[in-house]
Chains A and B, each alone.
Chain A
């Protein structure tokens, strides 16, 4: 059942109906609503784990099972969860578990290079609207074709970092050399193919590791291998339909799309697994210049994040190539059900002092970020008072009485604005001009009516603000 078709009533019917409040909700119906919205887990309901509810518990788990299985790679705090998707399109619900980005390391890399690449995964980070954007994993590739060497490098890396690791070799003997050392760290094994699936399945079973299945350009083979591994008793499977750069990009995206649709819309369990892609295949082509190949890898990665990859393996670590994709991933994995709002606050831009201008706007995210980027672009030092309009834009908030003089007065008080500035002038959005009189009355502040669009703020301040 698709997530959006599940109603709280469906869940409620199988809950213990004790209204015991142990889960923190007022009653079982409230809990059911949160369950359906995927805000809480069944584990929060203690009575459900009692013996007499065992069958209901299983029923609920089945009901709530995402059509794309959620798989954990690695252990501990840095473990990465991939998949767990409920829907094909984010507007139908929300996407969970952002695409994991794995950075490759060759087992023939120098110590310096290994250190540099691990350091990137561990410490490269970008602060973006209150979140830290980071890389997730290491994909250790065996290029030496030497099991001993692969094992030795796996040892070095697993001793150095807690980052989840994907072990890449199509030779089971080589993978095993690393598994002997770090099999308990729950690495992702790459990959079972039509040629090696028996041995690979064996390894995955023996070490209890998730395993990727690779069948480039052959969805029927991919489907068959997945069926086969399922029959072997494996459950944590990742599907790699192959990533073909350049002329192959159309088929690559189509394969990912069809696999995801089969899982999410048709309930096909054989392909109900996380999908992976390897934008680093661009490096297998003739390389004219590394810069161009990095460029190709970066844009290919973006299309794969948009089209359903739950895990990507990249080679380039250049910030200009990585950052756009980390931001894209963050954007697509934000929850579209949440009001498009930012937290009300008094925000500082540049290095404001007591004489700096004070502007106000609404907490509709787009409005706020537009104002923020206009102010930042112009290098203005100022304060922006973000007023809670329930995520509604200025014009609509004025019309719908979500932005009122009283709301403004309340925000001025809540955020102790008068402690920050030594003047009492408030600049309001041009589209809230008709509230200016009322705001002056309610706050006791002098109101200046700002521009209709925040792009006019720099010019407005230049002309109207005397500091």
Chain B
């Protein structure tokens, strides 16, 4: 065996310079030994071939002659909890008019831990549509320029051209400090959008707890049976009234809290008094990459892991207002030339924000830029793929001529 191994010794062409480098090993005494440990044959190597001065050889180490075959056992876990499934939209058969129904949630394992299981449903991607012209980053605006004043056409563009699963209609104009649009007019806008696209809808308020409730009441009524997702119910709203309206007309809601798991639990507890768990999606707040994404990330990651470990108050699909990525000035501002055009930097900012949160378990994304939407869709499709990988690709990079 020693003989065979000496032949297999590294075929290195050692230059004289190596001797200098090796001098630090000179104090190590070399031995030729052969021993057996279990069924392993380990040998201690003599001087390296080609080196004339034995005391200048590498250190003596017991070296295996063959690869020590040891299986890697994937540390696969069982989780006591699972995420409830929330269904959005309703077809004619179910009392609505949507072309399809989408499901969120249902996970039994952490996101994309493929060794443990797959995601029951791909994440749902909604594109933002506003009921009035608003300020948008240039990179976003260029894609929706022609429809800014027409929410229904904006919705059509989002679905037909940009491939949105859902439309996330923000009724920003109802804000008493903006246009104070009446519930009746807001509801009319919603109906127009419902008639223009056949995907499930999310209806967003303006953040004023009283006004949002009044508008939600009207919208819920005129969209009865459509299983709209309301965005959102918050701790400062009349939770009983809001939940009852949502329940009465067969809708679902996002429960929004601000970066605090305890508040997320508290809001859910209050909602459970009026709504089944299957009507609730949670949003623990999305902060932009560079502007608090780390908090958003860790709260979502903790929330999902706690849910899988059995925390019943958090076992809901998670929503993310990924559009918040555009709050980062690096997303929309012109920077020094080395940081590239904002037309690429902006959508990449939204993409990275989305992907980072995707890996915490977000089920529902509310987004802005078509390229970010397309990328998120490609990645989630690929993340669920169990196609055999092509090993060569992962090796070829070393010698790749670019």
- Of the candidates B8, B289, B400, which one forms a contact with A283 in the assembled complex, judged by CB atoms under 8 Å apart? B400
Contact A319 B345 (CB under 8 A): yes
Residues of chain B in range 286-300 having any CB-CB distance to chain A below 8 Å:
287, 289-295, 297-298
Smallest CB gap from A369: residue in B? B291
Structural contact, A219 and B72, CB atoms closer than 8 A: yes
Please give the distance in Å from B314's CB to the nearest CB on chain A: 14
Taking the complex as formed, is A158 at the interface, i.e. its CB lies under 8 A from any CB of chain B? Answer: no
- B394 / chain A contacts, CB cutoff of 8 Å: 216-217, 242-244, 248, 278, 281
Point out the residues of chain A lying under 8 angstroms from B292, CB to CB: 365-366, 369
Tell me the bound Cα distance from A116 to B352 in angstroms: 27
Is B328 positioned at the interface, with any CB of A under 8 Å from its CB? Answer: yes
The reply to whether A257 and B397 contact each other, CB–CB distance below 8 Å, is no
**Are B327 and A320 closer than 8 Å at their CB atoms?**
no
Contact digits for A157-182, partner B, Cβ 8 Å, 1 yes 0 no: 00000000000111011001000100
CB within 8 Å for A249 and B67 given contacts A143-B399, A172-B12: no
Bound-complex Cα distance A133 to B160 (A): 40
Q: Mark A84-109, 1 if CB is under 8 A from B, else 0.
A: 00000111000000000000101010
B359 interface residue, CB < 8 Å from A?
Answer: yes
Indicate if the CB atoms of A340 and B67 lie closer than 8 Å: no
Q: Are B115 and A142 within 8 A (Cβ)?
A: no
| A61 interface residue (CB < 8 Å to B) | no
Given contacts A201-B63, A232-B63, A299-B375, contact A143 B291 (CB under 8 A): no
A464–chain B nearest beta-carbon distance, Å:
14
* A89 to B348 alpha-carbon distance, docked (Å): 25
A411 shortest CB reach to chain B, Å: 23
A residues 328-386 touching B (CB-CB < 8 Å): 328, 330-332, 334, 336, 340, 365-366, 369-370, 373, 376-377
B210 within 8 A of A: no
Is A154's beta carbon under 8 Å from chain B? Answer: no
Stretch at the interface among A16-24, A35-43, A223-231, A417-425: A223-231
Q: Contact between A128 and B290 (Cβ–Cβ < 8 Å)?
A: yes
In the complex, the answer to whether B75 meets A377 with C-beta atoms within 8 Å is no
Q: Determine if B75 and A108 form an interchain contact, defined as CB atoms under 8 angstroms apart.
A: no
B226 contacts across to A, CB distance below 8 A = none
Which residues of chain A have C-beta atoms less than 8 A from B113's C-beta? 254, 257-258
User: Closest CB of chain A to B225's CB: distance in Å?
Assistant: 35
Chain B residues near A336: list those with CB within 8 A: 294, 298
A324 touches B67 (CB 8 A): no
Q: Which of A63-71, A262-270, A434-442 contacts B (4 or more CB under 8 A)?
A: A262-270
Least CB distance, A271 to chain B, in whole angstroms? 7
In the complex, A320 Cα to B350 Cα: how many Å? 12
8 A–B pairs (Cβ distance < 8 Å), ordered by A: A90-B298, A141-B398, A172-B11, A258-B72, A278-B394, A283-B400, A323-B345, A331-B294
* Residues of A in contact with B (beta carbons under 8 Å apart): 89-91, 104, 106, 108, 124, 126, 128, 141-143, 145, 168-170, 172-173, 176, 180, 183-184, 190, 194, 197-199, 201-203, 205-207, 214, 216-225, 227-228, 231-233, 242-254, 257-259, 261-262, 265-266, 268, 270-271, 278, 280-281, 283-285, 291, 295, 298-299, 302-303, 306-307, 313, 315, 318-321, 323-325, 327-328, 330-332, 334, 336, 340, 365-366, 369-370, 373, 376-377, 456
